[in-house]
Amino acid sequence: MIKVFIDGSAGTTGLKIVERMEKREDVLLLSISEDKRKDPLAKKEILNQADVVFLCLPDEAAKESVSLIDNPSTVVIDTSTAHRTNPDWVYGLLELGDEVYESVKSKKRICVPGCHASGFIALVNPLIESGLVPKDYPFSCTSLTGYSGGGKAMIADYEDIDRDPSLSLPRIYALGQEHKHLKEMKHFTKISNFPSFTPIVLDIYSMMCVIVNIEQEGLEYKKTLDVFKKKYEGRPLIKVEGNEEVFSQTFLPTDLMKNKDSMVIKIGGKDGRISLMALYDNLGKGASGAALQCFNVLTGCDETSSLNI
């Protein structure tokens, strides 16, 4: 039995992980009484008892929990932003390459990628890695997300029976171009500059659609599609589709992958003008699903165990 402690189990991501773990026969969930949750000694004891700790906490609280762990065998999977660009931690976007799988299997500190960042990196990394697009290309990204990504406070606002009528409309946020996911978006694509980023929250509990449009003379559509299909070939949680699938319907639903733990990348357009779209769920492949995918790999389980693909 794998002893698991979920620190922050009452939060949106934590609840999703608890829900999956309770159904597994290979996991023993450790718990701490509510009155002891803020007791450093009690917290330290249970953190060090666990084989695997999931951190579903704000950044500073995640750092504090990590500082309490001195058991060299305890593996930490952190869903916060706190350690994502720290070179001592593994960035758990497994589809970036086989070396990430090997690192997740062998390292003790793993970060779950940010929800917006997961899509952007999945779309841009193959372009840069293959040389199809230069690192200094002026990338611009639009990302549509469900309101659950804003945590309990935003969920309460959206689900309030007397809510502000404006919440029924799409709302743009992070207008200062300082969104906390920008660092990892730049770092793990190796682009020269931060992308221009426009996140938009919708009146839907969970979903995600990240869009990157590329306009570049000489960029061939078929070659681009082939690069993506080769990059994600054999990856069970990412599927790549081209114009045939994109144009099979007049409109593309942005919540196509709602409640799933996988991602579909749709590549539409023509030579010189290509639209890249990553569709997934902000609580699935964008959070709890990605955390469980890492857990499965590091524990030697089937990569898709407990996941909805």
Which tens digits make up the pLDDT trace of 204-256? 999 999 999 999 999 999 999 999 999 999 999 999 999 887 777 678 899 99
Return the pLDDT at 186.
98
Q: Are residues 159 and 243 in the same domain?
A: yes
Categorize the per-residue pLDDT at 202 as very low, low, confident or very high, splitting at 50, 70 and 90.
very high
Catalytic annotation present for 115: yes
Q: Which residues, 6 or more positions from 272, have their beta carbon under 8 angstroms from its beta carbon? A: 215, 216, 217, 218, 219
> What is residue 40's predicted lDDT score, i.e. its pLDDT?
80
Q: Which of 14-28, 29-43, 130-144 comes out lowest in average pLDDT?
A: 29-43
- Secondary structure class of 198 (helix, strand, coil): strand
Tens digits of per-residue pLDDT, 78-106? 999 999 999 999 999 999 999 999 999 99
Confidence of residue 9 (pLDDT cuts 50, 70, 90): confident
pTM for the whole structure:
0.96
DSSP letter, residue 263? E
E strand residue ranges, the chain: 2-7, 27-30, 52-55, 75-78, 90-91, 109-111, 140-146, 171-172, 196-202, 208-215, 238-241, 263-270, 273-280
Q: Which pLDDT belongs to residue 32?
A: 86
Structure confidence at residue 146 (pLDDT): 97
Task: Say which CATH number the domain at 182 has.
Answer: 3.30.360.10
89/173 same-domain check: no
CA 190 to chain centre: 18
Q: Are 111 and 84 in contact (CB under 8 A)?
A: yes
Residue 136 placed within a domain = yes
Mean pLDDT calculated for residue range 128-142: 98
Q: Shortest CA distance to 5 belongs to which of 62, 43, 40, 35?
A: 43
Q: 25 with 60, same domain?
A: yes
Q: Are 277 and 211 a contacting pair, CB within 8 Å?
A: yes
* Domain containing residue 236: 115-282
168 with 276, same domain?
Answer: yes
Q: Is residue 309 part of a domain?
A: no
Domain check: are 128 and 223 in the same one? yes
Cα–Cα nearest to 300, from 85, 102, 74, 140 = 102
Catalytic one of 56, 111, 115, 294: 115
The band of 69, judged by pLDDT with boundaries at 50, 70 and 90, is very high
- Number of domains the chain contains: 2
Task: Give the domain CATH number at 69.
Answer: 3.40.50.720
Q: How confident is the model at residue 110 (pLDDT cuts 50, 70, 90)?
A: very high
Residues 88, 158 within the same domain: no
pLDDT given at position 38: 76
Q: What is the pLDDT of residues 259-273, one digit of tens each?
A: 999 999 999 999 999
* pLDDT for residue 158 is more than 80: yes
Residues of the chain with pLDDT > 90, as a percent, come to: 91
Are both 147 and 48 inside the same structural domain?
Answer: no
Do 96 and 175 belong to one domain?
no
